[in-house]
Amino acid sequence: MEAQVGLLIDYEYCTGCQSCEVTCKEEHGYPVGKWGIHVLEEGPWEIEDGTGVFNYNYVPVPTDLCDLCADRTGKGREPMCVHHCLANVITYGRIEDLAKKASTKGKQVLWVPQYKPLEAKGEFVATKKNRPAEVAAPVEIESNDAWSTAAHRRSDDDHFELGLVD
């Protein structure tokens, strides 16, 4: 699951237009109810009461269905969310380049998406099944006449068995 590319989002200017969401659905054929990227709304709420200054941000969040438009990026084009973003706030690129760009101003977030992360891990493979067994020395086990229900109080002066098991 090593990743080399991602999306840098300048959420100072994300206006919440949701072009990224919808173009992703069209590009990938995702139905109603599923997204490869989803815009979350945070606010508005007043930062200090009475000042009229509000916190109000939108942040697009890639989901587990974001494949960074592998078909397009494979041909050297940018993902559709980048292409159609009305505020032009999404940049696609190599993570080290994006990280450099991220350091130039505040209110940015760098996403490194993973398409279908469970699938990306691959099927479970038991890797140690040929490991040699650790064999203990043979011991003889005798029957247990002192069996009692393990969950019961076992103090000698106050032990009771319902006697349902022989």
* Shortest Å, Cβ 72 to other proteins: 9
Interface stretch with other proteins, choices 22-30, 111-119, 126-134, 151-159 (CB under 8 A): 22-30
* 81 vs 111: CA distance, rounded Å: 13
Encoded one letter per residue, x for contact with other proteins by CB under 8 A and - for no contact, window 59-98 reads ----------------xxxx-x-xxxxxxx-xxx------
Q: Is 42 helix (H, G, I), strand (E, B) or coil?
A: strand
Interface stretch with other proteins, choices 39-47, 110-118, 128-136, 140-148 (CB under 8 A): 39-47
- Under the binding rule (CB under 8 A), the answer on residue 107 touching other proteins is no
The secondary structure of residue 138, as a DSSP letter, is P
Residues comprising the chain, all counted: 166
* 74 vs 68: CA distance, rounded Å: 10
Q: Which is nearer to other proteins, 86 or 120 (CB)?
A: 86
* 75 vs 26: CA distance, rounded Å: 19
- How many C-beta atoms lie closer than 10 Å to residue 15's C-beta? 13
Residues that bind other proteins (CB under 8 A): 13, 15-19, 21-23, 25-26, 29, 31-33, 43-46, 52, 54-56, 58, 75-78, 80, 82-88, 90-92
